């Protein structure tokens, strides 16, 4: 049985179908839920928490029916909401203790767990200061900590990198990965930035306008394409020169930006042919590697326009 299962799950708001006949199974590990703004990610999470009723179809979380067992599910699941929802005049420490107690922990246990989770998410002395003075990155960490305080089986993280600068985003992604791998907690994490999910997820689910576009292991999204990317240096027009020489050598080659050329792999000898051509031209070989599909190729094929690769 999956950690999350949906069957024919549909949510219609007046004038918009947020989820459309969704059939989904999410297992252990880290699952990335990707989709453009409005694809239905937050709606799915709210239904899974039993906070919003579905129009039709069914869903279960950890074996419990979202329609009837919402309270039980919320006791076993941690939720990091997308939007800023933290009180400004309370410290992270007091807030997380309070939310731990609301999840059913006795006071002493809530204090102990709060100290642990705030350390895990990287909040040190500042945990005793009011949240109003925190940076966006620190606030995101508080939201993550409160999702973990009651030792959940599953966490639902809605856009945890929202509003973060590149370095804070990297830190948050590393934390998400650790939750899945070191702590053994199943994770469903949403983002509209595809490259992020590629980095931290074992499995990727792609939603497009409320419909399931694709669900597969991340490695399947990254399978090789049968071409090589060759980067050279030595002359400003090195790519043009190399491209022509490779075509003359009987290979199919095209420019790939900068001083890079993409070469179709004909057989096992292709890398040797490329190397020899580069040497004959007196160019320097910077790299030669297999080109991989990236997750955004799914959107290029599937048609969802506004998802941004990073």
Ligand X SMILES: Nc1ncnc2c1ncn2[C@@H]1O[C@H](COP(=O)(O)OP(=O)(O)OP(=O)(O)O)[C@@H](O)[C@H]1O
- Asked if 211 interacts with ligand X (CB under 6 A), we say no
Kindly tell me which of 95 and 197 has the beta carbon lying closer to ligand X.
197
Minimum distance, C-beta of residue 55 to ligand X, in the bound complex (Å): 12
Closer CB to ligand X, 13 or 107, in the complex: 13
Site for ligand X in 81-110 (CB under 6 A): 82
Q: How far is the CB of 43 from ligand X (least distance, A)?
A: 3
Q: Select 55 or 101, whichever has its Cβ closest to ligand X.
A: 55
- Give the separation between CA 33 and CA 197, rounded to whole angstroms: 8
Locate 14 and state its tokens.
Answer: 């007046």
- For residue 213, the minimal CB distance to ligand X (Å) is 13
What is the nearest approach in angstroms of ligand X to the Cβ of residue 40? 4
Size of the site for ligand X (CB under 6 A): 13
Quick one: 53 or 87, whose CB is closer to ligand X?
53
Q: Of 236 and 305, which CB lies nearer to ligand X in the complex structure? A: 305
Site for ligand X in 19-78 (CB under 6 A): 35, 37-43
* Closer to ligand X by Cβ: residue 79 or 231: 79
Of 34, 12, 39, which Cα lies nearest the Cα of 209? 39
Instruction: Closer to ligand X by CB, 81 or 180: give it.
Output: 81
Taking the least distance from each CB to ligand X, the nearer of 159 and 239 is 159
The CB-of-303 to ligand X minimum distance in angstroms stands at: 16
Q: What is the 3-state secondary structure (H, E, C) of the chain?
A: CCCEEEEEEEEEECCEEEEEEEEEEECCCEEEEECCCCCCHHHHHHHHCCCCCCCEEEEEECCEECCCCHHHHHHHEEEECCCCCCCCCCEHHHHHHHHHHHCCCCHHHHHHHHHHHHHHCCCCHHHHCEHHHCCHHHHHHHHHHHHHCCCCCEEEECCCCCCCCHHHHHHHHHHHHHHHHCCCCEEEEEECEHHHHHHHCCEEEEEECCEEEEEEEHHHHCCEEEEEEEEEECCCCHHHHHHHHHHHCCCCEEECCCCEEEEECCCCCHHHHHHHHHHHCCCEEEEEEEEECCCHHHHHHHCCCCCECC
**Distance of alpha carbon 144 from alpha carbon 172, whole angstroms:** 9
Of the candidate residues 4, 9, 18, 197, the single one contacting ligand X (CB under 6 A): 18
- Which part of the chain contacts ligand X (CB under 6 A), choosing from 10-18, 220-228, 251-259, 301-309? 10-18
Neighbours of 215 (CB within 10 A): 17
Least separation in angstroms between CB 210 and ligand X:
7
CB of 154 to ligand X, least distance (A): 18
CA dihedral angle for residue 105, residue 108, residue 111, residue 112, rounded to 10 degrees: -100
What is the smallest separation between the CB atom of 41 and ligand X, expressed in angstroms?
A: 4
Question: Which range touches ligand X (CB under 6 A), out of 12-20, 100-108, 235-243, 292-300?
Answer: 12-20
Question: Could you list the residues that contact ligand X (CB under 6 A)?
Answer: 13, 16, 18, 35, 37-43, 82, 192
């Amino acid at each position: 049985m999956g950690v999350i299962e949906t069957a024919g799950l549909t949510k219609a708001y007046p004038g918009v179908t947020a989820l459309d006949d969704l059939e989904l199974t999410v297992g252990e590990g880290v699952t990335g839920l990707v989709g453009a703004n409005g694809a239905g990610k937050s709606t799915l999470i709210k239904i899974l928490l039993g906070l919003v009723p579905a129009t039709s179809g069914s869903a279960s979380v950890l074996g419990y029916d979202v329609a009837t067992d919402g309270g039980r599910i919320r006791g076993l699941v941690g939720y990091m909401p997308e939007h800023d929802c933290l009180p400004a005049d309370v410290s992270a420490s007091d807030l997380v203790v309070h939310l731990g107690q609301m999840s059913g922990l006795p006071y002493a246990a809530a204090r102990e767990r709060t100290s642990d989770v705030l350390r895990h998410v990287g909040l040190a002395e500042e945990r005793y200061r009011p949240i109003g003075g925190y940076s966006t990155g620190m606030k995101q960490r508080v939201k993550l900590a409160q999702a973990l305080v009651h030792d959940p089986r599953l966490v639902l993280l809605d856009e945890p990198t929202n509003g973060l600068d590149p370095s804070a985003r990297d830190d948050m992604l590393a934390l998400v990965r650790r939750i899945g791998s070191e702590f053994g907690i199943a994770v469903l994490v949403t983002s509209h930035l595809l490259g992020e999910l590629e980095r931290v997820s074992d499995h990727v689910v792609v939603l497009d306008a409320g419909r399931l576009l694709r669900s597969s292991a991340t490695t399947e999204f990254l399978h090789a394409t049968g071409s090589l990317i060759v980067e050279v240096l030595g002359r400003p027009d090195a790519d043009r020169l190399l491209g022509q020489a490779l075509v003359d050598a009987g290979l199919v080659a095209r420019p790939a930006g900068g001083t890079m050329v993409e070469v179709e792999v004909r057989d096992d000898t292709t890398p040797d042919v490329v190397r020899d051509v580069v040497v004959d031209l007196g160019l320097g070989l910077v790299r030669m590697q297999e080109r991989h599909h990236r997750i955004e190729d799914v959107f290029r094929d599937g048609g969802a326009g506004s998802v941004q690769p990073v």
